[in-house]
Amino acid sequence: MVVSQSLSSKKYATAFVNVYQDSLTLEDVQVMMKASVFLQRHQSIMLLICSAGLKKQDKFKIIAMLCKHFNMHESLEKFLELLLKKKNDICLLPEILQDICYLYKKRNNILDLQIKSAEPLDQESVEVFKKFFAQQSQKDIIATTQTDTSLIAGVRLQSTTFLWEYSVASRLRALRQKFFIEG
């Protein structure tokens, strides 16, 4: 998971999580992440929200529509309305949502894991990898899977802080490096 570089977004996210952590669920956080990705991909919406020419009541309507569309936790809509009233820092919305997700997962000992494999994995294999990574990291694992034919054969488990790979591609890289070093 990416964390923003904005000190302001981190402060807002920390304040939100400090107040609402007990009422948030993992589903709420996943919805916030989807909304953050959506807003980053559709920057025209953020330009509209941040526009100086747009009336505040229209900005409130856009925020309400976004919250309704993504079925966001009601406390987030109230928080965003407060943010819109106090300052125009609403322009940091994608980063704030990202930071809320990061903080929630950090405080709840949750780690996102990407499992890449040369061939599609069945659910039983995914569970084995999740269990292995949970033992290694001492965290609760949320896994996503992806097929990556560049691995040739094998698997790569990756999070923001861990990487474990057992694949033909990694063996070939190691061999290339050995030939390069030894000449």
Position 176 scores a pLDDT of 82
pLDDT digits (tens, 9 = 90+) for 154-180: 888 898 888 888 888 887 888 888 778
Expressed as residue numbers, the domain containing 57 is: 7-107
What average pLDDT does range 136-158 have in this prediction? 89
**Residue 1 reports pLDDT greater than 60:** no
- 163 and 99 fall within a common domain: no
Query: Rounded to two decimals, what is the model's pTM?
Result: 0.77
CATH code of the domain in which 155 resides: 3.40.30
Nearest to 81 by CA among 101, 66, 98: 66
Phi and psi, residue 175, nearest 5°: -65, -45
Contact at 8 Å (CB) between 164 and 181?
no
For the purposes of burial, counting CB atoms within 10 Å of the CB of 111, is it exposed (0-12), middle (13-18) or buried (19 or more)? buried
Query: For the ranges 68-72, 90-94, 148-152, which has the lowest average pLDDT?
Result: 148-152
pLDDT digits (tens, 9 = 90+) for 105-123: 999 999 999 999 989 999 9
- 98 and 143 fall within a common domain: no
Q: How many domains does the chain have?
A: 2
Position 66 scores a pLDDT of 92
Q: Which of 107, 127, 151 is the last residue of a domain?
A: 107
- 72 and 97 fall within a common domain: yes
Position 32 scores a pLDDT of 94
Q: Which of 88, 107, 126 is the last residue of a domain?
A: 107
**Residue 183 reports pLDDT greater than 80:** no
Residue 5: which pLDDT band, with cuts at 50, 70 and 90?
low
Residue 92 lies in a domain: yes
- 122 and 164 fall within a common domain: yes
Position 163 scores a pLDDT of 86
**Residue 21 reports pLDDT greater than 60:** yes
- 15 and 91 fall within a common domain: yes
Can you read off the two tokens belonging to residue 50?
Answer: 């941040």
Mean pLDDT value across the chain: 88
- 15 and 83 fall within a common domain: yes
Position 33 scores a pLDDT of 94
